[in-house]
Amino acid sequence: MATTPANNATGRRKTAVARVRLIAGTGKVEVNGRPFEEYFPTASLQNTVLAPLTLTKLVNTYDVSVNTSGGGATSQAGAARLGVARALLEVDATLRPLLKAEGYLTRDPRMKERKKSGQPGARKRFQFSKR
């Protein structure tokens, strides 16, 4: 049984992780086994995931399968975007300058700050009382 070669990549943002599989096809996008439009209901989240494909004009040439976990919807979409961009680089390394210029190959380093001991939150202090 001959299968088409798949290009795999991982994208991360905050606590979300997205494993992306890119297969030559018709442009079908699937997230966690569900249709892409169902999993990411808003247009902005859908555009975030498809941004690298749109930029490189390869929207209808690859089927994208994303397995994502952790974080929220926006974080998962950002992780999927990084994964799609990295998978595209495995397909064609000449796309690197185009994707890099848009910032699609940069992992968003912002993380939630940890809670400190003796405080109710990361930055918040307990109320000060002089007397």
Q: For residues 76, 79, 83 and 85, what is the CA-based torsion angle, rounded to 10 degrees? A: 120
pLDDT of residue 21: 93
pLDDT in tens, 67-83: 999 999 999 999 999 99
pLDDT of residue 131: 86
| pTM reported for the whole predicted model | 0.88
pLDDT in tens, 10-55: 999 999 999 999 999 898 999 999 998 999 999 999 999 999 999 9
pLDDT of residue 5: 73
Domain boundaries, the chain: 7-102
CA distance readout (Å), 85 to 74, 76, 100, 129: 17, 14, 9, 53
pLDDT in tens, 82-122: 999 999 999 889 999 999 999 999 999 999 999 999 999 99
What CATH class has 7-102? alpha beta
